[in-house]
């Protein structure tokens, strides 16, 4: 019997070294076993070859039968495993390990916590303008984990923008601002969705665009767009966090007539006459000021989404960077306002 086992071992080991397929090795072993049974079945028990092989005909039959059953069980089990679909992984919750680590400083805040961070992830925020105010707003909203951020602007990055519009780089000069901003936001947080709209917001597209979002942050430098955003958002019942800049001073407020707060036109019934409120390109603006006001707008957005603290409904905050002063002005709805009166 020992000789048969040595031959089988030689076939299997040598085949492994020579990289002979397993099926062929099993075939050769099967031929050897058949030869053993044939020898026992045809030659007399006293034959030298039978004695060299050892055992008896029935002994070999029983042994090979047991081995065949074991092999068949293994093959059948493997086939069953192949047919069973792999069960889906158990859900790990709404946040990945990376997100939990990234937003840990939010989650430990009592005013935000897990539910607040989940609200941020589900939120849809539209930012109108990817310039001085839009730059810090977009970066901080992306960093905070706001799930869907839309940005609308029809301008391209210019060299003169880079003194204050920190989301754009020198290499982005000539690129549409929304695409430059999108790239920076995705690099900062790949887990969020960014929707760039390379167009000017106008009467034709404002309604459909603003309707898709829960909250609007307006940081443009022209009154026509401010009044348009205010009018459409008020009609749709969407809150607007608005910011504005001039030289050394910035202001921010939340306009939400749907919740009893005044709208933008309640406070500024008419646009100022030409020349009375020059743009940043005409009057200038200190570089870090948009970062200060834009960061404040982002904070107000986080508060608005999570329900933390008290927002700026019915109040306007004015920051004077020249003298490092902050003033708070109460605002109220105006009777006869054409937008919300």
C-alpha–C-alpha distance, residues 313 and 200, integer Å: 27
Buried b (16+ CB within 10 A) or exposed e, 259-290: eebbbbbbbeeeeeeeeeeeebeeeebbeebb
At residue 312, the pLDDT reads: 96
pLDDT of residue 79: 64
What pLDDT is attached to residue 90? 39
Between helix 2-17 and helix 22-42 the angle, nearest 10°, is 160
pLDDT of residue 43: 72
Radius of gyration of the chain (CA): 38
Positions of the chain with pLDDT under 70: 1-6, 8, 12, 15-16, 40, 45-46, 49-51, 53-55, 57, 60-63, 67, 70-92
pLDDT for residue 77: 64
* Per-residue pLDDT, 98: 92
Q: Are 294 and 136 in contact (CB under 8 A)?
A: yes
Give residue 179's pLDDT.
Answer: 98
What domains are there in the chain, each with its CATH number? Answer: 2-83 (no CATH), 97-330 (3.40.50.720)
Nearest to 196 by CA among 208, 212, 183, 207: 183
DSSP secondary-structure letter at 119?
H
pLDDT on residue 49: 67
Given this model, what pLDDT does residue 86 score? 40
């Amino acid at each position: 019997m020992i000789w048969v086992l040595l031959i089988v071992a030689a076939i299997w080991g040598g085949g492994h070294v020579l990289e002979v397929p397993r099926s062929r090795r099993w075939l050769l072993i099967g031929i050897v076993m058949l030869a053993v049974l044939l020898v026992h079945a045809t030659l007399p028990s006293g034959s030298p070859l039978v004695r060299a092989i050892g055992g008896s005909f029935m002994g070999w039959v029983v042994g090979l039968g047991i081995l065949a059953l074991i092999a068949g069980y293994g093959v059948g089990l493997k086939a069953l495993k192949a047919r069973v679909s792999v069960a889906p992984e158990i859900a790990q919750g709404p946040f990945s390990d990376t997100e939990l680590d990234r937003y840990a400083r939010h989650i430990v805040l009592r005013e935000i916590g897990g539910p607040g961070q989940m609200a941020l992830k589900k939120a849809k925020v539209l930012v109108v303008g990817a310039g001085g105010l839009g730059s810090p707003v977009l970066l901080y909203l992306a960093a905070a984990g706001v799930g869907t951020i839309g940005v609308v602007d029809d301008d391209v990055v210019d060299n003169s923008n880079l003194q204050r519009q920190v989301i754009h780089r020198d290499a982005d000069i000539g690129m549409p601002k929304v695409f430059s901003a999108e790239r920076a936001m995705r690099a900062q947080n790949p887990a969020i969705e960014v929707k760039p709209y390379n167009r000017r917001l106008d009467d034709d597209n404002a309604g459909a665009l603003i309707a898709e979002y829960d909250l609007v942050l307006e940081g443009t430098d022209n009154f026509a767009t401010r009044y348009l955003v205010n009018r459409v958002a008020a009609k749709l019942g969407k809150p607007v966090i608005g910011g504005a800049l001039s030289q050394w001073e910035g202001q921010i407020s939340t306009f939400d007539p749907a919740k009893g707060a005044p709208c933008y036109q309640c406070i500024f019934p008419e646009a100022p006459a030409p020349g009375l409120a020059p743009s940043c390109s005409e009057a200038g603006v200190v570089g870090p000021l948009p970062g200060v006001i834009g960061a404040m707008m982002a904070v107000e957005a986080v508060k608005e989404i999570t329900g933390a603290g008290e927002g700026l409904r019915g109040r306007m905050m004015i920051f004077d960077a020249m003298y490092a002063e902050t003033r708070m002005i109460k605002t109220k709805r105006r009777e006869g306002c054409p937008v919300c009166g």
